[in-house]
Structure formats: structure tokens, C-alpha cells
Structure 1
Amino acid sequence: VDEYQDTNRLQSRILLALKPTGRGLTVVGDDAQSIYSFRAATVRNILDFPGEFRPSADIVTLAQNYRSTPEILAASNAVIGLAAERYTKDLWTARQGGGKPVLARVLDDAGQADYVVDRVLENREAGMTLKQQAVLFRASHHSGPLEIELTRRNIPFVKFGGLKFLDAQHVKDMLAVLRLAENPRDRVAGFRVLQILPGIGPANAALVLDRIEDSPDTAAALDRFMPPATTAADWPAFRDLIVNLNTRQTAGWPAELEQVRQWYEPHLERIHDDAAIRLADLVQLGQIASGYASRERFLTELTLDPPGATSDEAGVPMLDEDYLILSTIHSAKGQEWKSVFVLNCIDGCIPSDLGTGTTEEIEEERRLLYVAMTRARDALDLITPQRCYVHQQARRGDRHVLAQRTRFIPNHIVDHFEARLWPAVIAGPGHAPAPGTPRIDVAARMRQRWATR
């Protein structure tokens, strides 16, 4: 039986019923790569397997690794070596050479996106194709700012383990509202936005857009429309939102996007069962928007869906094209690349703040980081933003908070990594730049960079 660490309890019971004595039975697996509890897999199956039989099953350890450099394996072994329970094994390789994995500190999400893109392009200039590089992350929405930056720089990419950020239905909906407010005669955006409302179908949407097109006054055109009974309760809020955004009767940018989100949230909850997950994307969109000077600049620089792009599927380029790989860690299991970047190696992301309820959950989060690290063949960069944005806090609201490096890389194993500050920052104790390194105000640099877009 292969991949035994990914089996569930029912599968284990069937196997043990087929072979109650264990004679003639071999299972193969890696307890350090058991990461699918959300599919009901349990690491207990492989950890408890030897003790299911009398005499106990023999354990054969396969420790030679044919993928990664010795330095990457040393760091990975150090991370998984802190697990509360595991089969003891240290991976080794006959490969020679290679630098330590990089532990890169950046200011925030924008700095993280900049760092990854710059390093990816450096690798490409050195002869490494985009396809030989991958960016991994714990949750699909973590890649949002990076996707925007890749799009802005015209760098092709494919995302696995979730839709491309700009292809997700709820993100498209939000952008369509802004486009309609910017130009009420945009029929593509209008058809999309109007049909968000309950009771509005293609015929009524066309009727509203025809009235807007025939009238110089958007507010008057909307007022003349008699909404269906099922739409009547939602129509005034929609009318006021579009008119206020169109006539600039708002608090300005990016507060306008927040107004759109507040209007859209009830519809999000009505339309989607996973509204809470999708809401995280919309909060991320708000953070991205804050880096643009105006609504016009924001809409101009994003690649928006053309009239025919009505599918939520993120297309994969032709096989002979070159593109960067973006993937959740779960979707990356079993894969390998020459260079791997792991985003958001901070508490709250790895481990996820939703995965720290029990010791078992925390241990699986540790294994997730281990899986991500061991995807790398030649180069590995773990990125730790110094601050992150949190939302929906009960008492203090949305805000930036200082981020802590993931608990899975405590101080006593950091020697396995090369510490890198990007760009050079005024660091705290124990993280001072090398002598002679220029001290740059990263916050000022980022503000200047975003302001010039």
C-alpha cells in the first residue's frame, strides 16, 4: 500500500481486516508528509501501524534524498525534528554544494511581492526558466498581492490550488461595480453587477442599461426603473451606491472600495456558501487598492475580464510556453522545482490561525512547512513579512499588526538559514545589517513606489 500517511480510518480498518496478522503486508509512506486531515486522512494510521501486529511490523527507513541540496535537507530536518511525535529519520543526499536556504525579512505584503518577483527575474537572467520556479503558500488568498504584481509586470503565471485572484467570481464582482461607477455605460460591467441583485435577470439588466444609455443623468435613469418585487428591498442601496460613486459623493479612494465591499457582503453571503473564505479575498483586494493613488489608476493597471471571460476557471497556458508556478502547499505535494519561494512564514499563516486549536492541528501545520521546504532542489527562500493586515477583530477592527516569524523556526535552528533583509532595514536587536549596509526607510520607499504608479 503506497502513500499510507494519506489514508483515513475506514481504509485502515479495511486493510487490517484483509491482513489481520500482517503477513505479506507492506505499507509505504512518510509520516512527515501527512497533511490531508481536511480529507479525513489521519497520521495515526502510519504512526500506529507497527503496533497493530504481534510481533510488531518491521520498520525500514529510506533516508536518502535524490532531490535537494544538503543545506536544504539540513534545514528541513531541523524543522521536522521538533515534531512532538514522528519516526526518527534525517534525510541525506549524495549531492554536493548549494547555499543555505534564505530566511528573508520584508516589510509587508507589497515588499514580499517585490522580493519574489525580483528574485524570480534574477533566476531567469541566470538561465533558470520560470517553470523551474514555484511560489508556495498556505492559503489561496495569500498570493493576491503577488498576482497583482506579476500581472503588472506582464510575467505569465499559473496558479494551482485555487482560482487566480483576479479570476475569482467575487473579485470580478467588486471590480465590475467600480467599472460601472466609473462608466455607467459599460454594459459588460453593468450586466454583471445588476444580476448580483436578487430578481434581476438578463432582460431587466438590459432594460436598466438601455435607460442609462439614453439618459444624460444616471440617477434619473435608475429612478425611472421599476424593480421587480423581489428586488425592491435591495434597489435603493444599489442606486445610491452607483450614483454616489459616479458623482464622487464619497470619502475618496480607497474608501470607495470599502463602500462597495459593505454593499456587496450581504449578497456574497446569499450567493456563496463559503462567503467567509471569499471575504478574506475582498479584504486583500482592499489592501492592494490602498497602494494606488486613485480609482482610475487602480482600474487601469489591473487586467480585467474582457466581455467573453465569464468563466471562473483559471486557464493553463500552452505546454511550450514559460510561466511561473503559484501553488498552495497542499497542491504542491509530490512536485519539485529548482527554486522555491514560500510566502508568509509567520504565525497566523504558517501555522494558520485556524489550525492552532489542538496539538494535532499544530503538528500538521509543521508538516505543511516541511513539505513546502522539501519541494526545492537547488534554492529555497522563506519569506517573513514584518507586519501583516488583520481584519474582523472583535474589539480593535481592521489594522496592521507586527508579525512574528513562524514558531516552527525557533532561534536555536536559525543557523541553518541565511538571514536576509530586503531591502536593508533599520532592524531590531539581533537583526542588524552588515557593517556599511545603507539604512533605508522601507516604509517611505514603499509609499513612494506605490504613489508613482
Structure 2
Amino acid sequence: MLPRTVVPGCQTRGVAVGERVGAGAVTGAEAVLAGLDDEQRAAAAAVRGPVCILAGAGTGKTRTITHRIAYGVHSGVYTPEQVLAVTFTARAAGELRGRLSGLGVGGVQARTFHAAALRQLRYFAPRVLGGPMPELVENKLRVVAGAATRHRLTTDRTSLRDLAGEIEWAKTTLATPDDYPARARAAGRETPFEPAAVAAVYASYEQAKQRDGTLDFEDLLLVTAFALEEHRDVAAEVRGQYRHFVVDEYQDVNPLQQRLLDAWLGGRAELCVVGDPHQTIYSFTGADPDYLLGFPDRYPDAEVVALERDYRSTPEVVGLANRLIGMAPRRAGLPSLRLRGQRAAGPEPRFVEHPDEPTEAAAVAAACRALVDSGVPAAEIAVLFRINAQSQVYEAALTDVGVPYVLKGGERFFERPEVREAVLLLRGAAAGRDDGTPLVTAVRDVLASVGWAEHRPPPGGAARDRWQSLSALVDLAVDLVAEQPVLTMAGFVTHLAERAGAQHAPTVQGVTLASMHAAKGLEWDAVFVVGLVDGVVPIAQSLVRPEAVEEERRLLYVAVTRAREQLTLSWSLSRQPGGKRPRSRSRFLEGLAPDTGTRVRRPSPRRAEVVLDGAAAELFERLRAWRSATASAASVPAYVVLGDATLQAVAETRPGSLAELSALPGIGARKLEMYGAEVLAEVAATTSR
């Protein structure tokens, strides 16, 4: 059955506009609806569930749901204390409460999933757990470290963070330690250790918490759900208290959160969910967009309201966003959103190609300087990138032009723990006797002492970020030596201190430097989306799974829709000046950016066949011939050597070193050792022709 779509004037389960619940309530309810557009008004008036509000970027989502709650209260349908609005951040919950207060509504519970569960479990713990609320694990890394030690795993803080992240993913997806290896492989997880080893640490971690009588934050949700599922008296009391539910950012709900939501509902349908399938970018943390996409299947009589009027961005930005997301394969479920810009016309988005990353960063910094000089507040400008390690070159470029900045979602480059530790070690090396070792070699040796290895970024997001931060120090040393061949370690350390000192300037009105993930929910007048090359956007690890590539497209969509007026998308053909192996701009720009004559035509990730042009096609065929011969000699199928996706990535990126090759999908340590030299030889043979 198709969902019933709400249109203005259709009030199938809502309170009709003007319906009298009481003389005083009518005026208040009508006032709440005043000023909303037709779709917002329809959503706000649909106060009886189930309701699904599809809210595109910039369409007034928070305004709509707060007015819906206020309308339900003022019309007499809701008692404020019986409404539970669930958000994903404490900031969003506070904003909801503040807006509701401004609409004359108090008493509504607006909380995160964890805050709501904690409040309930504290109250019911004596009944459910037989005693007071257990202590919460304050330092998960400490417990994880103990579990890892029991299994003789050598870990540093980065590995511990990655292990903790895997345990959190397992728990939010309701995977037990026994389930974890198979589930991790099926999901394409890039694990810090073998899945079986992670599962063993996970099991020991759970045993340690049980022994100590403690709970972690995932347990809060799990135990609260269990209490409602298994204790009828608890369920009756909670369900009697909360009768109307609103869930924001529903595309980001994970299985554990959905289980708790189902326990709260107890089979009832007084539920309003709000989300945007185009902004699903957290699948790697366990978020499952199928709960939003499948809402009409679960509730066949659901009213679905689509908010498509974008009040944030100019029609030019909106048009680009629509074209970008329109190239994605159609997903089953709810209808797709197509934004309609409501603002006055603005400048066309700019697409800029640069020869190398430093030039790209310098150009972006100069543009930021010009904007600030023209009167645009620095806080209304953002530079967005895919991975945090990309920030360093922009930090330096903005410092060079005297533009302050703030780094969102992480410490500034020189304040990161691994960088501070490395700088201390480099300072110590500078204070020792100069034995004549070349600077770059000396820097590499120092960083090797803290676990950095040149040829292979480790698996796991946090570990990779750490590796990239330390690699940036090596790259900086290489660049400085190119300019000053006789630079010593002491001179290098002095240069680092000068850079770090420049970053301590006041940055209250700074340009925002943020990853695309960290930018979600924010907006600026001017946005620069940088580093748009294949292997970064989409990230190399995603290339082996079409669904992961499409999540990368949605991530770029999120970045684009952060811009109110001015949007610039840029990429560089080489990492360093004079680079000989041109990189390809992101495949997501095909059909959007003007043809510069330097890109390689690529297939859609949905296509099984490989379509490449020119030198890339030649190299791909050469690699296939090499693979066929290698597989025949070893009496194994060709895919056992390297898969087509890996050969395609090699042909497109043309790696020139083992380090570059190791960053590509499908190249593990074993295959790097077995085939790395031969693959590089094939690349070199084609490149030299």
C-alpha cells in the first residue's frame, strides 16, 4: 500500500485548521501555524501518527517539528509531559526546548536517546536490576586496554580507539562477540586487528564490565529496552507517561536505537519521524537508513510530508545539489526529494582545477582573505575536506595570509596528541649531536620510534588519521629541504614552533576548517569544498562496494548544501609541485564541472564492466594480462591475485611507490609483499612509453 501523502487542506488524522477544542485553544493553535509554508503547515497539522516528514537540506525541519508539537499542545491533542522528542545531540535537544518555550509550550521532554534512557533506567533500576543504577564506564579505553592485554595484543592509544569503535559498532548493530567476525566481513569493516581477535577483545570487555558491575553508554539503551520488553509494570508506566514520540534525524537511527524506540512504542503508532535519505552519511557507525526508507512498509497508513522548499541556499547552489544527488541510483522506499530554492539568485558555483595541493590551498586562502576584506565575517566562511589530515595545508595557507581559523571536529594540527609527541621527540633530536644524517631521513627515523611506518597506513579510522598527521610532518620536511637543502633538525624544529605559534592567534571569528562529516547540520555564507580527487572523494576504501561509493556521493551532497550563497569546488592534479602522475578529479563531478581535458572517464559504480579511456585503459589491460599469467603460474583463479576493482584503481591512480599502492582497495600487507613490486613495474612500463 502506498503511503498517504499530506497536502495542504488534507487532515486525515491531524486536527483540522480552525477545529475548535476550546475558545482559547483555537487562537493559540492558529497562531502556531501562521507563517509556515503549505508543506510545513501540513506537517505541523498532522498531529496524529504515524507521520513521516521528509525534510530536505535547508527546508526548516526544526521549525516544522517544533510547530507541530506546539500545535498539538495548543489544540488540546497533546499533554506536554506526554511528548518525548528524541534527538541525536544535546545541542539539538536544547534548541528544541528553547523553540518550544518561545511558542508557549513547556514540559515537553526533548532528549537524546542516551539521556532519555539514563533518566528512565535510574528510576527503574531497583525494580529491573535489583539495586541502584550501576556506575557508567567513564573511560572505555581503559577497559578495552585491559581486554586487549589479556589477549596479548600490542596496542597504542590509536589502536585502542579503533577497537573501542568496533565494539561500539557491534553493540549498536546488535552483534554479539560470536556474531562479530561474520557481521564485520559482511559489512566490509576495516578492522584494526583480525575480526576474530576483535571479537575476543569484545567478549573480554563485556566480561570485565559484568565483573565490575558497570554499564557503558550502549548498555544504557540495551538494558532500558530489555526492561520495557521483559517487565510489564515498567512498560506500562513508561508507556503511560509517554504517548507521543518524535524522532529527529531518523535516517541515522541504528538497530539498537530502533529496538529501544519499539520498546517505548509498545506497538502503538503515535510516532513522527523526521529525516532525509539524501543525508545518510553515518552507515559506518551502524546507522541504518532502511528504517526511514521502509517507514511506509512498516506503517502502510503513514502520512508522508515532503519539505522541499530550501530557504538556506541560492537556486544556483540548490540546482547543483539536485544534479549531484540525481545521478545516484534510485533506492527503494520513500520518494526522492528535489529541493526548490526560495532565495534570490546568486553566483554560479565555481569549479577550479589546480596543479598541486599547495597551490589549491593558497588559492582558497587568498579567496578567504578577499572575502574577509570585502566584509564577509570569517565565521561565515568554511573550508570542507574529506579527511582531517587534509587540514594541515589549509591551516598553513590561512596563517600565511593572516586569516584566523577554527578547526571543527578535532584539535588543530599542532595540538593533536601525536603531533605534540612527535614535535617533542624532534626537539630532543635537535638538541643532540648532529651526526650529519639528512633531515628527511632523521625525521623519518624519529617518527618510526613512535610507530609510524612509511609504506603502509594502518587500518582503522583513528589509526589512519594519526598516520596521516605524522606523514604530514615528513612531507613538510621534504618540502622545506627542497627549498633549503642544508636545513638542519634544529632549523626544522624552529620552523615548526613558528607555525604552531601563528596558530595561537585569536580565532573567534575564524574561517571554519571541518571534515564533511563534522559539517553536517551547519551552514555558512561561503563554502569551499576542496580535495575533490578520486581516492579521496570517494575515499579509496569505498571503491570496492557500490553502496559505499554512493554514501560518499551523499557526503559530498551534504557538503554542497552547507553553502548559502557562494560555493567553490576544487581539486588538484598532484600532491606536490612537479608531480608526474596526474590524479583524476572526483568521478562525482562528471556532468557537473566543465571539461578541463585532464580527467579520465570512469564508469558508474553500478556498472559491472570496467570502462576506461586512453592510458588508463592501456594500463588496465596490461595489468589484466599480468594477472592472468600470475594466476596461471600459481594455479589459482585470477580474482585470487587481485580483483578488477583493484586493477581499475591502480590504472586510474598510477601509484609510483609501495606506499601509494598500499592505500588502494584490495591491497593488503600480504598482497603488497607478493605482488607490489610486479604491479609497480607494470605501471612504470606503461608510464615510460
User: Number of paired residues?
Assistant: 339
> Shift of residue 376 of structure 1?
0.4
* Percent identity of paired positions between Structure 1 and Structure 2: 33
Task: Choose which of 284, 291, 299 in structure 2 pairs with 1:53.
Answer: 299
Deviation track 1:315-358 (CA, whole Å, cap 9, x = no partner) reads: 8957xx42111111111111110111112111111111123332
2:364 matched to 1:119? no
Unmatched segments (≥5 aa) in structure 1 = 185-242, 308-313, 390-398, 422-426, 431-453
CA distance in 2, matches of 1:371, 1:345: 14
2:149 alignment partner in structure 1: none
2:652 matched to 1:407? no
Please say if residues 261 and 282 of structure 1, whose CA atoms lie closer than 8 Å, have aligned partners that are also in contact: yes
Please say if residues 584 and 598 of structure 2, whose CA atoms lie closer than 8 Å, have aligned partners that are also in contact: no
1:281 alignment partner in structure 2: 469
> Shift of residue 128 of structure 1?
0.7
Superposed, 1:84-123 pairs within 5 Å as 84-86=329-331, 87-123=335-371
1:300 alignment partner in structure 2: 494
Please say if residues 414 and 500 of structure 2, whose CA atoms lie closer than 8 Å, have aligned partners that are also in contact: no
> Shift of residue 304 of structure 1?
5.8
Please say if residues 64 and 91 of structure 1, whose CA atoms lie closer than 8 Å, have aligned partners that are also in contact: yes
CA distance in 2, matches of 1:414, 1:266: 38
2:429 alignment partner in structure 1: 181
- Larger relative CO (CA 8 A, sep 6+): 1 or 2? 1
CA distance in 2, matches of 1:428, 1:345: 14
Please say if residues 396 and 499 of structure 2, whose CA atoms lie closer than 8 Å, have aligned partners that are also in contact: no
2:569 alignment partner in structure 1: 382
Superposed, 1:58-97 pairs within 5 Å as 58-86=303-331, 87-97=335-345
Please say if residues 172 and 305 of structure 1, whose CA atoms lie closer than 8 Å, have aligned partners that are also in contact: no
1:261 alignment partner in structure 2: 447
Q: Secondary structure at the match of 1:344?
A: coil
Unmatched segments (≥5 aa) in structure 2 = 1-246, 601-689
2:395 matched to 1:147? yes
Please say if residues 148 and 302 of structure 1, whose CA atoms lie closer than 8 Å, have aligned partners that are also in contact: no
Give the AA of the match of 1:44: D
Give the AA of the match of 1:303: A
Decide whether aligned partners of structure 1 residues 428 and 83 sit closer, same or farther in structure 2, where only a CA change above 3 A counts: closer
CA distance in 2, matches of 1:123, 1:54: 51
Decide whether aligned partners of structure 1 residues 22 and 344 sit closer, same or farther in structure 2, where only a CA change above 3 A counts: farther
1:369 alignment partner in structure 2: 556
* TM-score, normalising length: structure 1: 0.67
Deviation track 1:419-444 (CA, whole Å, cap 9, x = no partner) reads: 8x9xxxxx7599xxxxxxxxxxxxxx
Decide whether aligned partners of structure 1 residues 24 and 316 sit closer, same or farther in structure 2, where only a CA change above 3 A counts: farther
Task: Choose which of 498, 505, 528 in structure 2 pairs with 1:341.
Answer: 528
CA distance in 2, matches of 1:409, 1:279: 29
> Shift of residue 110 of structure 1?
0.7
Deviation track 1:68-119 (CA, whole Å, cap 9, x = no partner) reads: 1111111111111122234322111221221211111112221121011101
Q: Secondary structure at the match of 2:274?
A: coil
- Which structure's CA Rg is the greater one? 2
Give the AA of the match of 1:147: E
CA distance in 2, matches of 1:88, 1:40: 23
CA distance in 1, matches of 2:268, 2:564: 37
Q: Secondary structure at the match of 1:59?
A: strand
* TM-score, normalising length: structure 2: 0.45
Please say if residues 427 and 493 of structure 2, whose CA atoms lie closer than 8 Å, have aligned partners that are also in contact: yes
Please say if residues 388 and 400 of structure 1, whose CA atoms lie closer than 8 Å, have aligned partners that are also in contact: no
> Shift of residue 303 of structure 1?
3.5
Deviation track 1:264-319 (CA, whole Å, cap 9, x = no partner) reads: 326999xx995443112112222222221224554333336999xxxxxx98957x
- Which structure has the highest helix share of the two? 2
Please say if residues 369 and 401 of structure 2, whose CA atoms lie closer than 8 Å, have aligned partners that are also in contact: no
2:252 alignment partner in structure 1: 6
> Shift of residue 375 of structure 1?
0.4
CA distance in 2, matches of 1:88, 1:429: 30
CA distance in 2, matches of 1:305, 1:126: 27
Please say if residues 22 and 53 of structure 1, whose CA atoms lie closer than 8 Å, have aligned partners that are also in contact: no
- State which drifts further: 85-94 or 131-140: 85-94
